[in-house]
Amino acid sequence: MAKLYYRYGTMQSNKSNQIITTHHQYTTQGKKCLAYSTPVDSRSGYKKIKSRIGLELLCEYMHEGVYEEVETIHEVTRVHAVVVDEAQFLSKTEVHRLSDIADYLDIPVICFGLKTDFRNELFEGSKTLLELSDAIDELKTICQYCNKKATLNLRMMDGQPVNVGETIQIGDEEYVPVCRKCYKDRLDLI
């Protein structure tokens, strides 16, 4: 039986590189692997997943009709896996449709994304994936300020940490991975 996987991590935890590598592993074995991302994140360009080390993967945008789309492709050419980048931006309905792909089409679905926003609050997609996933893995990186494991994303504005503003603000340089203590210390939350 196929599973719904959620692999989450902070910024700079190698998520995009991992999804591209996973896709590559399937396709080099001659297995069809479909790649999706969300139109919310347009940093890499139109329908493209790009890692910080320069690897790229063409993808489709996630939508609520993804189950029917994958089912149609699967009827013509067997689909061995579905990978999804920026899964924190998925809607609850989209996550449920991905779980349907695993449950009813018996195709593994591997989602990659952030767990929480810069205020340490769950994104809708992350929350739903944490509730529904069969397997949850944390991709690790180290804190920007010490050598502890980074578990949070700190938003920076003009070189200073902030914890106000829109929940979704796409960027790379605006966020740094931090441990909980450094997060508290930088925002004076003690």
* Residues with active-site annotation: 86
Q: What contacts 130, CB < 8 A, 6 or more positions away?
A: 6, 115, 122, 136
> Is the CB of residue 67 less than 8 Å from the CB of residue 109?
no
152, two tokens:
């949070």
Give the whole-angstrom CA distance, residue 11 versus residue 156.
13
Eight-class DSSP state of 150: P
Query: Which ranges of 55-179 does DSSP label H, i.e. alpha helix?
Result: 66-76, 92-104, 124-132
Helix (H, G, I), strand (E, B) or coil at 130: helix
Give the residue among 143, 142, 134, 79 at the shortest CA–CA distance from 111: 134
Neighbours of 71 (CB within 10 A): 16
- Residue 154, beta-bridge partner list: 176
Only one residue has tokens 């996987």, namely 5
